[in-house]
Amino acid sequence: MEHNRVTREQVLAASKGMLQKQFYAVFSTPANGMGPVMDNLPVHLEHQCKIEREGILVAAGPHWSDDEQYWDGDGLFIIRATSIEHAREIAAQDPMHQCGARKFSIRPWLVNEGRLNLKIEFSTGKVTVD
């Protein structure tokens, strides 16, 4: 074990029996102010919906300012990929990144704990995520 670091294998062993689901977190930040971000927002959202339908996108959305009143153009999306290289290829296809409105960085993310609540009302067909 390196100082202040443990191996992937050690983490997997310590979390044995937990979900251990590998995703990739894509952090997307404005490269040239809000103008290019807003200009490309419609095609970006269309692209996000496309990769959602394809089963690639797990979750996505904007980051609010610390006072929760504004959006400064940055966001996060969680994707399914076979490797970090594959995740980079997927992120690079986002229209925001292709045109240079945003730049991105990626971190592998192992999900072990958490809970997602779904409420399904059969009579109305309404689904609520909590």
Give per-residue pLDDT as tens, 65-88.
999 999 999 999 999 999 999 999
For position 65, which CATH number holds?
3.30.70.1060
> Residue 98: which domain range?
8-129
Inside any domain, residue 66: yes
Q: How many domains does the chain have?
A: 1
The CA-atom distances, in angstroms, between 82 and each of 21, 30, 73, 79 are 12, 27, 28, 10
The dihedral through the CA atoms of 99, 41, 68, 127 has a sign that is negative
Give per-residue pLDDT as tens, 38-67.
999 999 999 999 999 999 999 999 999 999
Inside any domain, residue 3: no
